[in-house]
Amino acid sequence: MIFVKEGVLEVGFLDTQNKLFQKALKEGDVFVIPKGLFHFFLNRGVEVTTVFSVFNSQNPGLGSPTATPSSESVEKIKRKLISLSESEVDSVDDLSLAVSEIIYS
């Protein structure tokens, strides 16, 4: 679970069927991410965002780098987050750089 103390945050996760769930959060919003699913956060504003995260147990588990989403899922997230065409997405190597260029340009 995350709580947004200040700022604007784009948050999302992929379920076990690779369906994307995504929401824009603002101050005071809470969002629950099911345990073990691929998830992401993106500061959608130009100011600092402060977020508190809470795990549901004393042992939150271990995330394995081999448990990565399919490349199709990642491409879907890229397109949705930064509204690029398929050909433009193919040329993006660093998603954080592409997003910051769009937000700050």
Binding residues for Mn(2+): 39
Report CA-CA distances (Å) from 51 to 8, 18, 40, 60, 100.
10, 25, 13, 18, 19
Known binding-site residue numbers: 39
